Chain A
Amino acid sequence: KQEVTQIPAALSVPEGENLVLNCSFTDSAIYNLQWFRQDPGKGLTSLLLIQSSQREQTSGRLNASLDKSSGRSTLYIAASQPGDSATYLCAVMDTNAGKSTFGDGTTLTVKP
């Protein structure tokens, strides 16, 4: 059974700092890995999708990498802003079952 772990559970940084969020998974037979943002009481907003054949994806100040062999992905946020404060979740989609397993998320607070 796929297990997804996100470390740290919570992170607080001053505005302007660069930061890295981590996601690890136990089964490397994944179809893709997706990073999401969730604001309190809201649904999930897709940030980046990395296909299993890709090593990284970039969108604006966000960069996500994928290392299938080691079962790890990182989300890099450059020049953090207070508006980046949210919970960030990663999800891996299984190749065979076609369903995604989520980590518990990292709650980020960016202080002005």
Chain B
Amino acid sequence: DGGITQSPKYLFRKEGQNVTLSCEQNLNHDAMYWYRQDPGQGLRLIYYSQIVNDFQKGDIAEGYSVSREKKESFPLTVTSAQKNPTAFYLCASSMGKGELFFGEGSRLTVL
């Protein structure tokens, strides 16, 4: 089945550690996005990529990094510079500026 796969579903991090969240899509979409969701709030854009080997900062990029080496993959690294990383992270993709499709999310908790 076509879709977006995020892994891991749950992740625990000690302070000072970097962690990487995986996002893979088999929809042949050009654009991919990472959003962060805090309890009771909407989604805030971290990074997005409209083509391979290119990406742009969203509204809250500080403390995060991404790469887009393959069309189907857009991993997100949460670095130790991110002061409040505990959140629900959602990956999405779209064909150009079309309909957004989301994965099931990854919940990161800092111990």
Chain A contact residues, CB within 8 Å of chain B: 4, 6, 31-32, 34, 36, 41-46, 49, 89, 91, 93, 95, 98-105
Greatest chain B CB density within 10 A among A36, A43, A49 is at A43
Minimum Cβ distance to chain B for residue A70 (Å): 21
A104 / chain B contacts, CB cutoff of 8 Å = 40-42
- CB < 8 Å: which of B50, B92, B104 contacts A42? B104
Dominant secondary structure of chain A at its interface with chain B: strand
Cα-based distance from A28 to B50 in the complex (angstroms):
22
| Interfacial residues of chain B within 24-47, with CB under 8 A of chain A in the complex | 31, 33, 35, 40-45
Interface flag for B96 (CB, 8 Å): yes
Cα-based distance from A91 to B98 in the complex (angstroms):
12
Chain B interface size band reads 20 to 34
24 sample A-B contacts, Cβ–Cβ < 8 Å, listed by A number: A4-B42, A32-B99, A34-B99, A41-B88, A43-B6, A43-B102, A43-B103, A43-B104, A44-B100, A46-B102, A49-B99, A89-B42, A91-B100, A95-B97, A98-B31, A98-B50, A99-B45, A100-B45, A101-B45, A102-B42, A102-B44, A103-B42, A104-B40, A104-B42
Minimum Cβ distance to chain A for residue B61 (Å): 12
Interface flag for B90 (CB, 8 Å): yes
B85 / chain A contacts, CB cutoff of 8 Å = none
Inter-chain pairs besides A93-B97, A95-B97, 11 sampled, C-beta below 8 Å: A32-B98, A41-B105, A41-B107, A42-B105, A43-B104, A49-B98, A49-B99, A99-B45, A102-B35, A104-B40, A104-B41
Dominant secondary structure of chain B at its interface with chain A: strand
Minimum Cβ distance to chain A for residue B69 (Å): 20
Cα-based distance from A7 to B41 in the complex (angstroms):
13
Cα-based distance from A43 to B101 in the complex (angstroms):
9
Cα-based distance from A34 to B88 in the complex (angstroms):
21
A101 / chain B contacts, CB cutoff of 8 Å = 45
Minimum Cβ distance to chain A for residue B30 (Å): 10
A44 / chain B contacts, CB cutoff of 8 Å = 43, 90, 92, 100, 102
